[in-house]
Amino acid sequence: MRGCRPSGAHCRRALDACVLDRSRGTQGPALGLGHIAAQGPCSRRQRRQGGTARLPPKTQSSVPGEPAAPTQRDSVTPSSLYRRNKKRDLREKYQNSAAWRQFTDKICQSIAIKRALHENQAGRCASCNIDIVSRSLDDCTVHHVSYDHRCTFGGNATPNLNCGTCLSAQPRKAEACLTLLALVHTACHDALHQAEQRDPAWRRSMGLGPLVGRR
């Protein structure tokens, strides 16, 4: 019985009863090793004798190619990902230029940016911190922390988005983009914007009034 690690008072009582039965030369069927093991984690030796141990909740998807569902602990949206500004408030500042629209809109479609963010984040979603298992990254979304930036690779009138070339040829310029972006699961992206809308401090910073009739 040395290998068993009691889990709670119930398991300790079961252990004491089992030891008492053994000292008397008897073994009650309800207090066997299998029963004790079912009350908490046990050793490998006891599992071979028929015991079972509780397993921790899974954080990875059991289906290949599908992201794991965030646990209650991991699904808390970090406020550091909340948007610092609104797109429409910066349109005039950048004169709605093509270079600005490439950063605010088109960059979300760049697979090169997704891969760079995926590498920077060690393969994990920036929101739930769970591994992104999809190799194609189709189940992920590029989230803007700030829209106060424009594409500077090729000048203000860059005709086409070319993030792959920028990442390799101009890493400093590319880093200026990446620091304002995050790669998150699409479901986490939706939850992130919902959390923003419910946060009174964020609403005040965006010049929005309090939510009425909602929680």
Element (H or E) spanning 181, and its range? strand 181-185
Residues 96 and 30 in one domain: no
Q: How confident is the model at residue 53 (pLDDT cuts 50, 70, 90)?
A: very low
pLDDT score at 124: 96
Over residues 111-119, the mean pLDDT reads 95
pLDDT score at 93: 94
The percentage of the chain sitting over the pLDDT mark of 90, rounded to a whole number, equals: 44
Taking the C-alpha atoms of residue 28 and residue 21, their distance in angstroms, rounded to an integer, is 7
pLDDT score at 154: 64
Residue range of the domain that includes 191: 79-205
Over residues 39-61, the mean pLDDT reads 42
Max Cα separation, the chain?
90
Q: How many domains does the chain have?
A: 2
pLDDT score at 90: 95
The answer to whether residue 3 sits within a structural domain is no
